[in-house]
Structure 1
Amino acid sequence: MSDANETLDYDIDRELGSGTKTKTVKRLIHYAVQFKLQLVLALLMLSVAVGTDLAGPLIAKRIIDLHISGIEKPWFETQNKNDYAVSFEGKQYKRDDHFEQGETRGNEVRVLQIDREYYFIAEPIAFDGERKVTDNTIQITKGSESKSYSGEQLDRQQLYSFFRPEMAGMLKLCWYYMGLTLISAIFTYGQRYFLQSSANRIIRRMRTDVFAQLNRLPIRYFDNLPAGKVVSRVTNDTESIRDLYVNVLANFTTGFIHMLGIYIALFILDVRLAAICLFVVPALIVWIIVYGRMAKKFNRIIRSTVSEINGIINESIQGMTIIKAFRKEKRVEANFEEVNNKLFHVQNKLLSLNSWTGYNLVAVIRNVALVALIWYFGGASLNGASGAVTLGVLYAFVDYLNRLFQPMVNIVNQLPNLERALVSAERVFALVDEEGEDVSEQKEKRYQGHVRFDQVWFSYKNGEPVLKGITFEAKPGQTVALVGHTGSGKSSILNLLFRFYDPEAGSITIDGKETRQMPRQTMRQHMGIVLQDPFLFSGTIATNVSLNDPSITRERIHKVLTDVGAESLLEQLPQGIDEPVIEKGSTLSAGQRQLISFARALAFDPAILILDEATSNIDTETETVIQQALDVVKQGRTTFVIAHRLSTVKNADLILVLDRGEIVERGDHHALMNLGGKYRQMYELQQGKLVPSQ
């Protein structure tokens, strides 16, 4: 990995650090709003699921207070025998809340629980408080007051007779509880399905936008950023953002709705108890803010380092032949291990932070709240003190309190994913915000091929021009050759002609029209290029020639392959033009790949054809075939040729000799040979007629 690339990635991440999280969140919300229907449906289903789930403790509270603890309510003798009447020692008793309006009530009796036993008292009690029993004598103490009552311990059968009237009500509430649980499960499934489905759609749209942005970016952008790091933005970072919508959003939304519902239920149960737990909300907010500030630094380094690892892997795979040829496997492994260790140490720091601020801290807060609650209210409830809550309320409250901390745990556990996703989103949006140019669908009629450069200056780096005042004219149908030593500016001229870059000064015109006044895609519509190192895509020979353009028929593919002399290539392949081609065409020879590349350029019938040292990497026999084919395909189009072997451009109409970014000689082969300058020196040197100076 070059120092320049590392510096660039550092600068990008430093720029990300200076941005605000608010802007990133707004853009993430903008993507989510595009699928708001499904998200709203998911949230509605979530609300129903939470509501039905939180109804459980209220049902349990009613079972305890009404049907279980209700046995301690006052009982009265009655003459009406019905489902609520209980027979005990020859008399009928009915609980106070089961009497109908106007119904006659007899003597009052009580059934009290002391420890694990129940006692029948044949008289009312003056007050309730701490209970003790000695030889069926029950003593109730409240403060300084104390009363004693004669009681009779109930056996199991007698006790059941007092509970029997409540069994139908308890069973009914249990069925309600099961029904609500089933409804909650169904709606929970629905909300998770729609939420994850929405997240998948959001990420699909985002990846499409990011990939479309790659097509909008200038070539200069890819000169400075390794392919592995770009791939990391499109794949790894967008997958982290997907976790934001699927896991973080789900847990945060579920958690906050749960907490809101729980607080509503707590205040319904008892305002005093609910007030105790209000500290959880500001604690959670402070927690999220503090954690976010601490974790953001680590996550940014992690995402940057992951991109760097992807870049190293990509570079190693691309250069595996060189690595093995020069026995640099250990050196490459050492470089990778250095970056890998950096990632390992930063991840451990984040892990330590997560451990300190994760589940354990939530458990401590929860346990402290439970102890305080039970200590303050529990003893009073069990002793029947004045103002104490009922056992049913206490049970429901403890249940809700546990449920309150569970979403809090879920929210806290998602904080690492949240920060990682926000950092990834910043990196993705930084790529999307790069200045680019929209892909144009505009059409242009075929050029005549009249190309003119007028005082063109260009540099890849500021202050280091590689082209200095280049001026020349290529008339329609001419072949223009660019020759010169390495670094003289030959490829830069063609890069400008193809508008991979734009000149800093001067103008380039095609048929009298300034190239910068035309969209790049429109301008390239009638241009073709063959590079020194041809690139083939995965697919077949036919798809590599046509690039899946439906306007290019199979007959056209056969014709252009024949025109470039590729008949022998097709004869060797079992499936002809349908022969599979793997990535970069590694199963084909260099000559075969170059023939396919030539056919691809000609298939689109370009008015301007650019050959960038297109025959330098092929054998003499294949070069002869291509040179013969070029004499045919050059007809009717302007051709620009870069060639180190000057024997291949002897027939060019115009030869431009470049040296250090300037045209030092121009003319055809004979004129330049007669001139006796740099061109003749290079030609004779290649022909072995001139001994190079020492």
Structure 2
Amino acid sequence: MPVKEQLTVIRRLLPYAKPFKWFFIGAIILSGLVSVVNIYLPKVLQTFIDRYLRTGHATITVMWYFAGLYFFGMLVRALMQFIQNYTSTMGAEYMLENVRRQMFKKLHRMGMRYFDQVPGGSILSRLTNDTMSFSNFWALFNTLFTAFFAVISSFIAMYLTDRQIALWLLIFMPFLGVTVWYYQRYSSKVYRRMRERLSELNTKLSEAITGISVIQQFRQEHRINGEFDHTNDAYFRTRQAMIRTNSLLLSPLIDLFYALGTVMVLGIFGVRGLNGYVAAGVVYAFITYLNNFYNPMTQMMDNLSDFQDGVVAGSRVLRVMDDQTIAPAQHADPTAKITRGKIEFKHVTFAYDGEHPVLKDASFVAEPGQTVALVGQTGSGKTSTINVLMRFYEFQSGEVLIDDRDIRDYPAAELRQKMGLVLQEPFMFYGDINSNIRMFNNEISDEQVRAAAKFVKADDFINDLPENYESRVIERGASYSSGQRQLISFARTIVTDPKILILDEATANVDTETEEMIQTGLSRIQKDRTTIAIAHRLSTIQNADLILVLNQGQIVERGTNDELLAQRGYYYDMIQLQNSAHVK
């Protein structure tokens, strides 16, 4: 990553730390004060050695006096270092919590297209690993300012102690600068590869854990293990490259410069000692200042790896924050309310990628209280119609009206409250049945939850459970059958009393007996509600007020069940095909 790009990333990350600036400002001030104490401590011992110990005037009183001064200085330094580390670390932690919250909110404002294109493991990696490294990157600034003040103050102290030797030590600075420049240039490439490999690793893990039942069913363990080993080895190799780079170019090189500097200082003092007198206290103070000069550099170089990792992680976080794949915008009128539930599509065209339409010039009307069924082969545009109606995706042309008003005029909260969606595979959250029906909305009472469950005939099996509505729900509701999960999903929808009901193959994964029970619940749910239903089992929608037959994104037939059978077209052929399949 070029230096210019790194500076851009840093500049854009600064606003995330702004709410907690006083933590960082306090740490910077304390860094300056610590550097002053570091100048003071060697001066105390230098004065004691040269003025009292060398001349033989070091009495017990004088010794205790200087010991007390030195101890007091060490105590003050330790206290300031503690407060400095605490404030800078807490500032970084508060900022990390703030970034994760903002990023999580941003993800929930993203359009569905983003999640279609980006693997879940990659998103998880950016939300956890990248933000954590990004926080470590901020902690580096504490070390950076500490090193800056320490280097400046130590050089001033050396210059005031012996100007000639201090200037000679500057010959190492160009070499140090070249080392830092080369490390910055090379290591950013290594860290970017490492972050990409870690993202791929998390994606593989997420996929393997989510699909474990399919993997075991089809005996894919060997293939999955091989793919994971390949990804893991690639990540390991980038880690190796990072370790090699850090081992060579960080603290070992600074230690070398420190050793060379010590040799130079002692050599110059030694030559002077051959021709005259050199005060021992001066030698001690100068070596201590030299150590204070290089020691913060060692810490800074050790943390430079965190800096590179943080800049790369920060750039990945910013890519998520900058992504414009947002949910379709509403030009909301706060007064707009859905009262009747009439739905109308007028010449709607929709494409997921904006170029290849999957819904072409679709027009239909669902009157309040009617049931409109969508049928057709896989890929015909049924689910796309639902996605447009639910505002998961933006359509390219045409109009979608609810109660004769543009769907974009309604606030998103109004659409979500008045439109109930039941999916083919309902998602269950950790918790209990009660919370899964009310969806953690405490404004919905227990009586409303029970009434909704009874309304859809879900209370029959819930009351047979040991803890009834408080029965635990584990990941994805794995302890319940498909039919039971679907009934809970119906109750979840009906408890909000929607005006529009959308069923996306709601009975596709249940057995016939359970389907009959669900159909009984459905007939009650659909009463006085406008229903849009996708169905593969055509027997479930024969009583629909309007059936739309889709083919390659176009509505090719429309009418009631009897009308479509009389036409002997697509719908008739589909009925005959399903009937022949049942006979076999």
Q: In which range does the TM-score fall when normalised by the shorter chain?
A: over 0.9
Distance 1:674 1:438 in 2: 40
Q: 2:285 aligns with which of 396, 402, 407?
A: 396
CA contact (8 A) 2:122 2:202 kept: yes
Q: 1:579 aligns with which of 455, 464, 471?
A: 471
Mapped pair 1:191 → 2:88: no
Cα displacement (A) at 1:689 = 8.7
Which aligned segments of 4 or more residues in structure 1 are displaced greater than 6 angstroms? 16-19, 438-441, 689-692
- Does the 8 A contact of 2:549 with 2:558 survive in 1? yes
SS at match of 1:688: helix
**Among 510, 515, 532, which residue is 2:424 paired with?**
532
Deviations 1:124-144 (A, max 9, x none): xxxxxxxxxxxxxxxxxxxxx
What are the within-5 Å matches in structure 2 for residues 485-634 of structure 1?
485-634=377-526
546, 557, 582: which one aligns with 1:654: 546
Query: 42, 45, 48: which one pairs with 2:27?
Result: 42
Q: Does 1:677 align with 2:569?
A: yes
Q: Is the 8 A contact 2:336 2:410 kept in 1?
A: no
SS of the residue corresponding to residue 362 of structure 1 reads helix
Amino acid at match of 2:363: T
- In structure 2, what is the Cα distance between the partners aligned to 1:19 and 1:623? 62
CA distance in 2, matches of 1:609, 1:506: 22
Pairing 1:476-491 to 2, within 5 Å after superposition:
476-491=368-383
Verify the 8 A CA contact 1:382 1:391 in the aligned structure 2: no
Displacement of 1:182 in angstroms is: 0.9
- Determine whether 1:244 maps to 2:137: yes
Report the CA distance shift for 1:17/1:41 in structure 2 as closer, same or farther (over 3 A).
Answer: closer
Aligned pairs (5 A) from 1:181-330: 181-246=74-139, 248-330=140-222
Shift of 1:270: 2.2
Residues 1:342 and 2:231 aligned together: no
- Distance, in Å, in 2 between the alignment partners of 1:198 and 1:620 is 59
In the TM superposition, residue 27 of structure 1 has moved relative to its aligned partner by 2.0
Q: Which amino acid aligns with 1:390?
A: A
**Residues 691/462 of structure 1: CA separation in 2 closer, same or farther (3 Å cut):** farther
Deviation at 1:290, TM superposition (A): 1.8
Distance in 2, Cα, partners of 1:237 & 1:496: 34
> Structure 1 residues 303 and 406, CA, compared in 2 at 3 Å: closer, same or farther?
same
Displacement, 1:395?
1.3
Superposition pairs for residues 359-398 of structure 1, below 5 Å? 359-381=251-273, 383-384=275-276, 390-398=279-287
Aligned residues with identical type, % of pairs:
36
Structure-2 change in CA distance of 1:281 and 1:28 (3 Å):
farther
User: How far apart, in 1, do the equivalents of 2:582 and 2:158 lie?
Assistant: 99
Distance 2:581 2:134 in 1: 65
Cα deviation code 1:248-300 (max 9, x no counterpart): 22221221121122122222222222222334555444333221110111111
SS at 1:503's partner residue? coil
Alignment match of 1:331 (pick from 212, 223, 237): 223
Go from structure 1 to structure 2 and tell me whether the alpha carbon gap of 1:328 and 1:353 turns closer, same or farther (over 3 Å shift). same
Distance 1:266 1:469 in 2: 81
Query: Offset of 1:183 from its aligned partner?
Result: 1.1
CA distance in 2, matches of 1:503, 1:219: 13
**For residues 415-459 of structure 1, what are the alpha-carbon distances to aligned partners after superposition, in whole Å with 9 as ceiling and x for unaligned?**
111101100000001000111259999575233111111111122
Distance 2:228 2:413 in 1: 39
Quote the Cα distance in structure 2 between the aligned partners of 1:169 and 1:285. 44
Q: Which runs of 5+ in 2 are unaligned?
A: none
Query: Would the aligned equivalents of 1:444 and 1:523 in 2 still touch at CA under 8 Å?
Result: no
CA distance in 2, matches of 1:481, 1:595: 20
Amino acid at match of 1:218: G
Aligned residue number for residue 407 of structure 1: 296
Deviations 1:447-493 (A, max 9, x none): 31111111111222354321111111111111000011111111110
Structure-1 separation of matches of 2:76 and 2:582: 93
Give 1:295's aligned amino acid.
Answer: S
Give the aligned residue type for 2:256.
V
The answer to whether the 8 Å contact 1:684/1:690 transfers is no
1:449-464 pair list within 5 angstroms: 449-464=341-356
Instruction: State the Cα RMSD in Å.
Output: 2.1
Task: Tell me, yes or no, if structure 1 residue 52 matches structure 2 residue 37.
Answer: yes
Summarize the Cα distance change of 1:165–1:568 in structure 2 as closer, same or farther, 3 Å threshold: closer
Q: Alpha-carbon deviations, 1:529-569, whole Å to 9, x = none?
A: 00001101111111111111122111111011111101222
The structural deviation recorded for 1:226 is 0.7
Give the conservation status (yes or no) of the 8 Å contact 1:381–1:390: no
Whole-angstrom distance in 2 between the partners of 1:322 and 1:489: 27
Moved more, 674-683 or 470-479: 674-683
Distance across 2 between alignment mates of 1:369 and 1:295: 27
SS at match of 2:361: strand
More helix by share: 2
One-letter code aligned to 1:685: L
The aligned counterpart of 1:13 is: none
**SS of structure 2 residue aligned to 1:535:** coil
Distance 1:517 1:274 in 2: 73
- Of 230, 243, 264, the residue aligned with 1:351 is 243
Give the equivalent residue in structure 1 for 2:310.
421
Shift of 1:617: 0.6
Q: One-letter code of the match for 1:404?
A: F
Rounded Cα–Cα distance in structure 2 between residues aligned with 1:412 and 1:580: 51
More relative contact order in 1 or in 2 (CA 8 Å, sep 6+)?
2
- Structure 2 distance, partners of 1:448, 1:466, is 29
For residues 171-182 of structure 1, what are the structure 2 equivalents within 5 Å?
171-182=64-75
Unaligned runs of 5+ in 1: 1-15, 72-162
Contact 2:344–2:363 (Cα < 8 Å) also in 1: yes
**Partners of 1:219 and 1:501 within 8 A in 2:** yes
- CA distance in structure 2 between the aligned counterparts of 1:286 and 1:186, rounded to whole angstroms: 36
What is the match of residue 433 of structure 1?
A: 322
Aligned length: 581
Q: Larger deviation: 309-318 or 670-679?
A: 670-679
Larger radius of gyration: 1
Quote the residue 1:64 is aligned against: 49
1:102-141 map, 5 Å = none
Which amino acid in 1 is paired with 2:379?
Answer: G
Question: Is 1:26 equivalent to 2:11 in the alignment?
Answer: yes
CA separation in 2, counterparts of 1:202 and 1:242?
Answer: 7
Q: Is residue 450–residue 459 contact of structure 2 (8 Å, CA) maintained in 1?
A: no
CA change 1:390–1:48 in 2 (3 A) is: same
Conserved 8 A contact 1:478-1:637: yes
TM-score w.r.t. the length of structure 2 is 0.95
Rounded Cα–Cα distance in structure 1 between residues aligned with 2:217 and 2:582: 34
SS at match of 2:338: coil
CA offsets, 1:37-73, max 9 Å, x none?
A: 222222223333332233211111111111122x2xx
TM-score, normalisation: structure 1: 0.80
3-state SS of paired residue (1:528):
strand
